[in-house]
Amino acid sequence: MMKRFLLPFLVPMLLITMLAVAHAGVTAESFSISPYVGGYSFPGREHLETRPVYGVRAGYNFTKNFGTEAVFDYVRTEGDVDRGHINVYNWHLDALYHFMPAGPVVPYLAAGYGGQSRDSHASDVGDSTHGAFNYGGGVKYFLRDGLAVRGDVRGLLLKHDEHTFHNIEYTVGVDFLFGGVKPMAAAVTQPEPAPPQPQEEAAPVVPPQEPAPGHFKYCISLQGEFDIDQAVIRPEYHAEIARVGEFMKKYPTTTAVIEGHTDNVGSAEHNMDLSQRRAEAVVNDLVENYGIERSRLSAKGYGLTRPVADNATDEGRQKNRRMDAIIDCAFDVKQVQPPERLCIAMVLDFDSGSAAIKPQYKDEIAKVGDYLKSYPTTTAVIEGHTDNTGSTEGNMKLSLDRAQAVVNYLMQNFGIDASRLSAKGYGSTRRIAYNSTAEGRAKNRRINAVIDCVIKR
């Protein structure tokens, strides 16, 4: 008979349990409301029928493990002979202990004391109220934070006319939890990190324009166009390539990277391949027509990844379809015609956390100051870089302060106008070596001067 009463309630509860994603659990200082339904049996000499029970629990959890509940439920039963119906009311205050309160499955034990009243409509049975002790346990299964389904079994002991009676209650219900202390993420003490090994650190990407100490980067943009989707050099383009060829013939210690760039017409993969083929065509021309050793040259296609103008206009797309020759020089570039762009690496060592320029490094800055004085139409960006020691924000500020210190020195000691100079701090974002070694960190702590030349040829 009990299946008939419980089935409409158990089926949706089981469906919710299967469909929900379980998490959460019991929280300290939380309140709960728990309606329930189940069965109630009167085994033994009372001769009362097993019937459905309906009730509600209201609780408070002092901690995740310990809680208390006030309980009230109702059973309408009758004798196993025609004695009329009896209304049974139970009320009690229980203590609960939760095992594994973090959930999602939380078993518990419960015990408490209260009373039971019976309102009898049978002629031979009167109304009565007795004390009742209950004990038992159950399981809560949390569907989400603040919601759990619950199964519970209790035994009740009642004493009446020197006789002890046993009742059994078995229920299912829903727990609604409110409030409570949300669990805080445990503070994790990070151990002092071991110095990273070079093989575990991503390899630094050194831009072609980045000069080595004691070297210069002499950058020439080659003006000319290829036919659409072709890598064959037009005859009128050879004069541009000659500028690179003649320079490298005159200075046989130089090396060069020929960079190919495109606009955004076509797919990224096609443009990458096309720019590489065009760069290789320029390398081949330098080898075949100017006798430059192939070991001194390399080709790199960047496709559409490095635009210098807006691809939304024809003029912008034309500027982006370009070839650049980045020539590495190990001599005093003041002796040659200024290029369109020049990058000079200054070997400066600063005290830790300081932007003060040491006297022994002033000759390094003089290389830039003398060049800017020799060519008064040039402008320069002074770039500051650091290693990865310290915070990102601190390194960014320190690199800017050091770059600004060089700018101020050029203004005060070489009379370079402030409008021709600017400072830029990159912190540790543009490393050229591994930070896992002292040597690598020293290379990353550097100052570069990027000089734009607007000399008319």
Number of domains the chain is built from: 2
- Name residue 240's beta-bridge partners: none
Average pLDDT, the chain: 80
Neighbour count for residue 133 (Cβ, 10 Å): 14
Is residue 113 a part of any domain in this protein? yes
> 240 and 204: one domain?
yes
> 339 and 410: one domain?
yes
Q: What is the pLDDT of residue 439?
A: 85
What's the CA gap between 261 and 252, in Å, rounded? Answer: 26
> 138 and 234: one domain?
no
Domain end position, chosen among 146, 179, 212: 179
What's the CA gap between 56 and 36, in Å, rounded? Answer: 6
CATH code for the domain in which residue 132 is found: 2.40.160.20
> 135 and 275: one domain?
no
To 10 degrees, the CA torsion angle through 275, 338, 384, 415? -160
> 98 and 234: one domain?
no
Which 3 state secondary structure label does DSSP give 399?
helix
Is residue 186 a part of any domain in this protein? no
Is residue 231 a part of any domain in this protein? yes
> 148 and 202: one domain?
no
Is residue 34 a part of any domain in this protein? yes
Domain that holds residue 147: 2-179
> 114 and 236: one domain?
no
Q: What is the pLDDT of residue 197?
A: 47
Q: What is the pLDDT of residue 325?
A: 78
Return all residues near 4 (Cβ < 8 A) that are at least 6 apart: none
> 283 and 423: one domain?
yes
Q: Which amino acid does the sequence have at 54?
A: Y
> 125 and 251: one domain?
no
Q: Would you write out the chain's pLDDT as a tens digit for each of its 457 residues?
A: 444 545 554 555 554 444 444 457 888 889 999 999 999 998 888 788 899 999 999 999 999 999 999 999 999 988 766 667 889 999 999 999 999 888 789 999 999 999 999 888 765 567 788 899 999 999 999 988 889 999 999 999 988 777 888 999 999 999 998 887 765 544 455 555 555 444 455 555 445 445 555 456 666 777 666 777 788 888 888 888 888 888 888 888 888 888 888 888 889 999 999 999 989 989 999 999 999 999 988 999 989 888 888 889 988 888 888 888 777 755 455 555 555 566 676 767 777 788 888 888 888 788 788 888 887 888 888 888 888 888 999 999 999 999 899 999 989 999 989 998 898 988 888 887 888 888 888 888 888 877 765 544 3
> 317 and 403: one domain?
yes
Is residue 74 a part of any domain in this protein? yes
pLDDT per residue over 164-183, tens digit each?
A: 889 999 999 999 988 877 65
The pTM for the full model equals 0.41
> 166 and 56: one domain?
yes
Measure CA 396 to chain center: 21
End-to-end CA distance of the chain: 105
Is residue 425 a part of any domain in this protein? yes
For the residues of 333-345, what is the DSSP string, one character each? Answer: GGGS---SEEEEE
Domain end position, chosen among 179, 208, 229: 179
Is residue 365 a part of any domain in this protein? yes
> 124 and 21: one domain?
yes
pLDDT per residue over 209-253, tens digit each?
A: 455 554 566 667 776 667 777 888 888 888 888 888 888 888 888
Is residue 191 a part of any domain in this protein? no
CATH code for the domain in which residue 324 is found: 3.30.1330.60
Cα–Cα distance list, 146 to 3, 83, 88, 125 (Å): 29, 45, 31, 44
